[in-house]
A and B are shown apart, each in its own frame.
Chain A
Amino acid sequence: MMRRVANIAVLLVAAFLCYGMQTTTPHYADLTAPIPVYGKIQDTILTRTFDIAVDKVVFARTLKFDQFGKQNLLTSGGVWAIVTARLDAADRSAMVAAATWQGPDRLNYRTSERASSAAGALPIALDPGVPGRTRLVFEILPSQVSGATLLVSGKLAGPLDSEARIALGSVATQPNGLPEGVTETYELGDTF
């Protein structure tokens, strides 16, 4: 009798262990996720291949820029966020290819393809000792403005490579939901 009870107990423990191991197995996407390097706005963040320091973040209702010799006015159902940042290669020539605006609700906004032909858009090639700059343009929901994180990586899909995660801090909002200090039209000029 005791022996039978002991057998059943061993069986239950084994089943419990197996179930525990199954549910705690890390997700493959997590195992191969980018390796975060955390920082905040104005900090210089050192990733494996490049350094980045965010200068400022500006919000605008519309964007104006020249495309193929024609003036373009880009409207949006949300709001435009324009991030300018300084870049530097770490120790050899490098690329910066992808940036994502991650809102407080974990919504991920890739840089807008509508403004991808403006000066300073990704991808950007960097050489050591030559300071580089980028201007990242995101089209986001007004609710994702405050408390956002900027993710910048060297490749479009960069498993197991470092990724800068820059806390952009909180932004005051107007009663109409738009961020404080939003400009009506931002001109994406050749210099920035």
Chain B
Amino acid sequence: MFGGVRSKLKAWIVGGIGTIAALAVGGALGAFDAIQKPAVVLEPGQPVETGPWVVRPLRAYTVDKGVYGLPLKAGEKALVFEAEMTNRTAISSKNYFTTFQSTGGTDEKPFVVLVRDSTMSPALQPGLPERMAYVWGLPAGAAPPDRFVLAVNGEIYKQRDNLYGAPGWYNEHVIGTVAMAVGTGPDTPDAKP
């Protein structure tokens, strides 16, 4: 009779240890996930690899007249940010609309223009660096900021995605932020690395 109780107790203890171990491992993994990674601050003029792109933030400035073929009404202002972008992938791509995101103070979505000949958002060719301009409208009456803080987003390559099994770039995440000094007008010089 007591033998039966002893073996039952043993089974309970072993089971309990297993459960506690599983909970501890799960909790630790969750905690690692939840750790706030410190924001990486990127330098203007330095190349950054985002996955599909190598980008080099060059300069930011405000305009009150149209720029790169984009019209602007009287009294409106826009914030222009220029970067050199190189397609690292093996195919022509225009997967750059969310590579740079404004962290506030501007309209949400930018227009993206090829500086070379003012083409609106063309696909960029593999291995050919191009200078691109991101143009954000500024809300009416808003004063342009002294420093324009941008989030630089990257993606990871997956051989097959979970939905279609197709290869591609997924899981967009913030790589870091870059603070650009905001000049006035298109004569603003490029940031030196």
Q: Which residues of A contact B (CB under 8 A)?
A: 27-29, 72-78, 100, 106-110, 112-114, 139-141
Contact = CB atoms under 8 A, between A and B. Distances in A.
Nearest to B116: A75
Contact of B129 (A77, A108, A139): A77
B51 interface: no
17 contacts: A27-B159, A27-B167, A28-B164, A29-B160, A72-B117, A73-B117, A107-B91, A108-B90, A108-B91, A109-B92, A109-B126, A110-B91, A110-B92, A113-B119, A113-B123, A114-B114, A141-B127
Interface of B: 90-92, 114, 116-117, 119, 122-123, 125-130, 159-160, 164-167
Shortest beta-carbon contacts, A-B, top 4:
A28-B165, A110-B92, A108-B91, A113-B122
Contact of A29 (B114, B119, B126, B165): B165
B128 A77 contact: yes
Give the residue among B90, B123, B125, B166 with the most A Cβ atoms within 10 A. B125
Contacts of B92: 108-110
Contacts of B164: 28
Contacts of A108: 90-92, 126
Most buried by B among A29, A106, A141: A29
A75 B167 CA distance: 32
Contacts of A74: 117
A28 B165 CA distance: 6
A29 B166 contact: yes
Contacts of A139: 125, 128
Given A27-B159, A112-B122, A113-B123, 15 more contacts: A27-B160, A28-B160, A29-B160, A29-B166, A73-B117, A76-B128, A100-B91, A108-B90, A108-B91, A108-B92, A108-B126, A114-B114, A139-B125, A139-B128, A141-B128
